[in-house]
Amino acid sequence: MVATKNGVKPFVLQRRRARLEFAQPEYEGMFIEARLDVDMRTFFELQALAGDDASTGNMKAAFEMFGSQILEGWNIQDEDGSTLPPDADGFLSLPPNLGTAILGAWSEAVTSAGEALASE
C-alpha cells in the first residue's frame, strides 16, 4: 500500500524507455531499445564524457557507460550473422560512426522528450 500524508499520494516516477529508429538509409531496419529517463547524474556525466572536447578516453568511457547503463536491446548482428550483445562490450565493437549516431539519437530523444510532453 502507498503511504500517504494528509490523504495525498506521493508522485511516483515512471521511467520511460525509448525505441530509437534511424532514418538514414545505411541504418534502415535497425532499432535500439534504451532507457530514456535516467537520473540527472548519469545524463550529465554522459554529456560531459561525450562533449565536443571529449578525449579518446572520455569517448570510450561514454560508450561503455551507454552500453552498460542505458542500452537495453537492439537487433544488430555482426558480418558473420552473430547477434552482438546489447552491453558495453557489444557497443564498443560497433564502428565509430554507428556508435556516435546511436549516442546522438539517444541524447536527442532524451532532451526533446520533455519538451514534447510539456507542449501536449
Which DSSP letter does residue 27 get?
G
**83-105 pLDDT, tens digit each:** 999 999 999 999 999 998 998 89
**Confidence at 1, pLDDT banded by 50, 70, 90:** low
Question: For the segment 13-43, what is each residue's pLDDT rounded down to a tens digit?
Answer: 888 888 998 888 999 999 999 998 888 898 8
Q: Is the dihedral of CA 88, 90, 58, 15 positive or negative?
A: negative
Q: What order of strands is seen across the sheet that includes strand 31-35?
A: 17-21, 31-35, 71-74
